[in-house]
Structure 1
Amino acid sequence: MFTRVIEKEPIMLITFQSTASPDVVMLRDLAQYLLGLVGKRLGERGVIRRDELPGAIGRLEAAISEDVTAQAALEALHRSPGNQRESNHGLSQRAWPFLDMMREARKSDADIIWGL
Protein backbone atom coordinates (compact mmCIF):
# COMPACT_ATOMS: atom_id res chain seq x y z
CA MET A 1 0.00 0.00 0.00
CA PHE A 2 1.32 3.42 -0.95
CA THR A 3 0.82 6.52 1.12
CA ARG A 4 0.74 9.82 -0.65
CA VAL A 5 1.95 12.84 1.26
CA ILE A 6 0.55 16.12 0.14
CA GLU A 7 2.52 19.10 1.26
CA LYS A 8 0.54 22.23 1.86
CA GLU A 9 1.95 25.65 1.24
CA PRO A 10 2.29 27.61 4.45
CA ILE A 11 -0.35 30.26 4.92
CA MET A 12 1.29 33.56 4.20
CA LEU A 13 0.06 36.62 6.00
CA ILE A 14 0.86 40.17 4.97
CA THR A 15 0.88 42.95 7.53
CA PHE A 16 0.19 46.49 6.40
CA GLN A 17 1.38 49.21 8.75
CA SER A 18 0.84 52.93 9.04
CA THR A 19 1.34 55.43 11.81
CA ALA A 20 -2.24 56.56 11.17
CA SER A 21 -4.06 53.35 12.11
CA PRO A 22 -3.74 49.88 13.60
CA ASP A 23 -2.03 47.20 11.51
CA VAL A 24 -4.09 45.34 8.91
CA VAL A 25 -3.23 41.66 8.45
CA MET A 26 -4.56 39.62 5.52
CA LEU A 27 -3.83 36.54 3.51
CA ARG A 28 -1.20 36.93 0.80
CA ASP A 29 -3.65 36.21 -2.05
CA LEU A 30 -6.05 38.94 -0.91
CA ALA A 31 -3.19 41.38 -0.36
CA GLN A 32 -1.88 40.70 -3.85
CA TYR A 33 -5.35 41.21 -5.35
CA LEU A 34 -6.04 44.45 -3.46
CA LEU A 35 -2.62 45.87 -4.23
CA GLY A 36 -3.17 45.07 -7.91
CA LEU A 37 -6.44 47.01 -7.79
CA VAL A 38 -4.65 50.08 -6.45
CA GLY A 39 -1.79 49.83 -8.93
CA LYS A 40 0.87 48.21 -6.74
CA ARG A 41 2.63 44.86 -6.78
CA LEU A 42 3.20 42.65 -3.79
CA GLY A 43 6.89 42.28 -3.14
CA GLU A 44 8.92 41.44 -0.09
CA ARG A 45 8.52 45.01 0.98
CA GLY A 46 6.57 47.87 -0.36
CA VAL A 47 5.00 51.21 0.29
CA ILE A 48 2.00 53.24 -0.74
CA ARG A 49 3.31 56.77 -0.42
CA ARG A 50 1.08 59.48 0.99
CA ASP A 51 0.94 61.21 -2.40
CA GLU A 52 -0.31 57.96 -4.02
CA LEU A 53 -3.17 57.47 -1.55
CA PRO A 54 -5.88 59.59 -3.24
CA GLY A 55 -5.52 57.65 -6.51
CA ALA A 56 -5.26 54.30 -4.74
CA ILE A 57 -8.37 55.01 -2.67
CA GLY A 58 -10.29 56.08 -5.78
CA ARG A 59 -9.33 52.90 -7.66
CA LEU A 60 -10.30 50.63 -4.76
CA GLU A 61 -13.61 52.45 -4.23
CA ALA A 62 -14.38 52.11 -7.95
CA ALA A 63 -13.60 48.38 -7.87
CA ILE A 64 -15.84 47.93 -4.83
CA SER A 65 -18.66 49.83 -6.55
CA GLU A 66 -18.33 47.66 -9.66
CA ASP A 67 -18.35 44.51 -7.52
CA VAL A 68 -21.50 45.61 -5.66
CA THR A 69 -23.25 46.29 -8.98
CA ALA A 70 -22.19 42.92 -10.39
CA GLN A 71 -23.30 41.08 -7.24
CA ALA A 72 -26.70 42.79 -7.32
CA ALA A 73 -27.18 41.82 -10.98
CA LEU A 74 -26.16 38.23 -10.26
CA GLU A 75 -28.52 38.00 -7.31
CA ALA A 76 -31.38 39.39 -9.41
CA LEU A 77 -30.78 36.69 -12.01
CA HIS A 78 -30.86 33.93 -9.43
CA ARG A 79 -33.75 35.28 -7.37
CA SER A 80 -36.79 33.10 -7.52
CA PRO A 81 -39.31 31.79 -5.00
CA GLY A 82 -37.68 29.22 -2.76
CA ASN A 83 -34.18 30.00 -4.01
CA GLN A 84 -32.25 31.33 -1.04
CA ARG A 85 -28.60 32.11 -1.61
CA GLU A 86 -26.11 32.41 1.17
CA SER A 87 -24.55 35.78 1.73
CA ASN A 88 -21.56 36.31 -0.51
CA HIS A 89 -18.57 37.99 1.07
CA GLY A 90 -17.94 40.53 -1.63
CA LEU A 91 -15.01 42.77 -2.23
CA SER A 92 -16.39 45.52 0.01
CA GLN A 93 -16.29 43.28 3.08
CA ARG A 94 -12.84 41.91 2.32
CA ALA A 95 -11.34 45.27 1.37
CA TRP A 96 -12.90 47.41 4.09
CA PRO A 97 -10.04 47.24 6.65
CA PHE A 98 -7.46 48.11 3.98
CA LEU A 99 -9.61 50.92 2.55
CA ASP A 100 -10.16 52.30 6.05
CA MET A 101 -6.40 52.23 6.66
CA MET A 102 -5.76 54.11 3.42
CA ARG A 103 -8.35 56.75 4.30
CA GLU A 104 -6.85 57.25 7.76
CA ALA A 105 -3.34 57.44 6.29
CA ARG A 106 -4.52 60.08 3.81
CA LYS A 107 -6.05 62.14 6.64
CA SER A 108 -2.82 61.91 8.64
CA ASP A 109 -0.52 62.41 5.64
CA ALA A 110 1.15 59.06 6.37
CA ASP A 111 2.53 56.23 4.25
CA ILE A 112 1.47 52.58 4.33
CA ILE A 113 4.20 49.96 4.34
CA TRP A 114 4.29 46.17 4.21
CA GLY A 115 6.81 43.41 4.39
CA LEU A 116 6.73 39.63 4.29
Structure 2
Amino acid sequence: MLVTFKCRSTSDVVMLRNLAQYLLRFIGKEVGARGVISHEELGAAIPRLERAIREEARTEAALESLHHVPNDHSSHEDDAAVTHRAWPLLDMMREAHRQNDDILWGL
Protein backbone atom coordinates (compact mmCIF):
# COMPACT_ATOMS: atom_id res chain seq x y z
CA MET A 1 0.00 0.00 0.00
CA LEU A 2 1.22 3.50 -0.79
CA VAL A 3 1.24 6.64 1.34
CA THR A 4 1.16 10.05 -0.34
CA PHE A 5 2.62 13.03 1.50
CA LYS A 6 1.27 16.39 0.35
CA CYS A 7 2.42 19.94 0.96
CA ARG A 8 1.44 23.17 -0.78
CA SER A 9 5.06 24.24 -1.30
CA THR A 10 6.41 20.98 -2.81
CA SER A 11 5.55 18.13 -5.11
CA ASP A 12 3.90 15.08 -3.59
CA VAL A 13 6.09 12.35 -2.11
CA VAL A 14 4.81 8.79 -2.52
CA MET A 15 6.30 5.83 -0.68
CA LEU A 16 5.42 2.37 0.49
CA ARG A 17 3.50 2.24 3.75
CA ASN A 18 6.17 0.24 5.61
CA LEU A 19 8.85 2.83 4.76
CA ALA A 20 6.53 5.71 5.68
CA GLN A 21 5.77 4.01 9.01
CA TYR A 22 9.47 3.46 9.67
CA LEU A 23 10.37 7.11 8.97
CA LEU A 24 7.41 8.62 10.78
CA ARG A 25 8.23 6.72 13.97
CA PHE A 26 11.51 8.65 14.17
CA ILE A 27 9.51 11.86 14.51
CA GLY A 28 6.86 10.46 16.84
CA LYS A 29 4.13 9.88 14.27
CA GLU A 30 2.20 6.84 13.09
CA VAL A 31 0.75 6.05 9.69
CA GLY A 32 -3.01 6.16 9.89
CA ALA A 33 -5.66 6.68 7.28
CA ARG A 34 -4.68 10.36 7.47
CA GLY A 35 -2.11 12.38 9.32
CA VAL A 36 -0.31 15.67 9.58
CA ILE A 37 3.05 17.10 10.51
CA SER A 38 2.23 20.68 11.40
CA HIS A 39 4.63 23.47 10.55
CA GLU A 40 5.12 23.99 14.30
CA GLU A 41 6.37 20.39 14.66
CA LEU A 42 8.85 20.56 11.78
CA GLY A 43 11.53 22.46 13.72
CA ALA A 44 12.00 19.47 16.04
CA ALA A 45 11.07 16.72 13.56
CA ILE A 46 13.69 17.60 10.93
CA PRO A 47 16.76 17.17 13.20
CA ARG A 48 15.34 13.91 14.59
CA LEU A 49 14.91 12.48 11.09
CA GLU A 50 18.35 13.74 10.02
CA ARG A 51 19.92 12.06 13.06
CA ALA A 52 18.09 8.80 12.30
CA ILE A 53 19.28 8.90 8.68
CA ARG A 54 22.90 9.42 9.80
CA GLU A 55 22.65 6.53 12.26
CA GLU A 56 21.09 4.31 9.59
CA ALA A 57 23.94 5.15 7.19
CA ARG A 58 26.55 4.25 9.83
CA THR A 59 24.79 0.97 10.54
CA GLU A 60 24.58 0.10 6.85
CA ALA A 61 28.28 0.90 6.37
CA ALA A 62 29.23 -1.29 9.32
CA LEU A 63 27.12 -4.19 8.05
CA GLU A 64 28.50 -3.79 4.53
CA SER A 65 32.07 -4.00 5.82
CA LEU A 66 31.22 -7.17 7.77
CA HIS A 67 29.72 -8.84 4.72
CA HIS A 68 32.13 -7.53 2.08
CA VAL A 69 33.45 -10.25 -0.18
CA PRO A 70 36.62 -9.30 -2.09
CA ASN A 71 36.19 -9.43 -5.87
CA ASP A 72 32.42 -9.80 -5.49
CA HIS A 73 31.13 -8.38 -8.76
CA SER A 74 27.45 -8.62 -7.94
CA SER A 75 25.63 -5.32 -8.04
CA HIS A 76 24.39 -3.82 -4.80
CA GLU A 77 23.23 -0.65 -6.50
CA ASP A 78 19.68 -1.99 -6.80
CA ASP A 79 19.45 -2.28 -3.04
CA ALA A 80 18.04 1.18 -2.33
CA ALA A 81 19.01 1.99 1.23
CA VAL A 82 16.49 3.50 3.59
CA THR A 83 18.72 6.55 3.84
CA HIS A 84 18.33 7.27 0.12
CA ARG A 85 14.60 6.65 0.17
CA ALA A 86 14.16 9.02 3.13
CA TRP A 87 15.58 12.08 1.33
CA PRO A 88 12.42 13.08 -0.59
CA LEU A 89 10.43 13.26 2.65
CA LEU A 90 13.23 15.10 4.42
CA ASP A 91 13.48 17.60 1.57
CA MET A 92 9.72 18.11 1.73
CA MET A 93 9.95 18.71 5.48
CA ARG A 94 12.71 21.29 5.05
CA GLU A 95 10.81 23.21 2.38
CA ALA A 96 7.56 23.05 4.34
CA HIS A 97 9.42 24.44 7.34
CA ARG A 98 10.81 27.32 5.26
CA GLN A 99 7.35 28.07 3.87
CA ASN A 100 5.46 27.53 7.17
CA ASP A 101 3.37 24.78 5.54
CA ASP A 102 1.94 21.60 7.00
CA ILE A 103 2.55 18.14 5.54
CA LEU A 104 -0.51 15.95 5.17
CA TRP A 105 -0.72 12.31 4.25
CA GLY A 106 -3.29 9.73 3.45
CA LEU A 107 -3.47 6.19 2.23
Say yes or no: TM over 0.5: yes
**SS of equivalent residue, structure 2 residue 35:** strand
Matched residue, 1:15: 4
Q: 1:79 to 1:111 in 2, by over 3 A?
A: same
- More displaced 10-residue stretch of structure 1: 75-84 or 96-105: 75-84
Partner of 2:88: 97
Give the corresponding residue for 2:37.
48
Pick one of 93, 97, 115 that aligns with 2:106.
115
TM superposition outliers: structure 1 runs of 4+ over 6 Å: none
Q: Give ranges in structure 2 of 5+ residues lacking alignment.
A: none
Alignment-derived partner of residue 64 in structure 2: 75
Query: SS state of the match for residue 48, structure 2?
Result: helix
Alignment size in residue pairs: 105
- Give me the CA root mean square deviation: 1.4
Q: Where does structure 1 lack aligned partners over 5 or more consecutive residues?
A: 1-11
| Percent identity over paired residues | 53
Look up the SS of the partner of 1:47 in the other structure. Answer: strand
Q: 1:30 aligns with which of 19, 37, 41?
A: 19
Structure number, greater radius of gyration: 1
Give the TM-score, by structure 1 length: 0.82
Distance of 2:43 and 2:3 partners within structure 1: 22
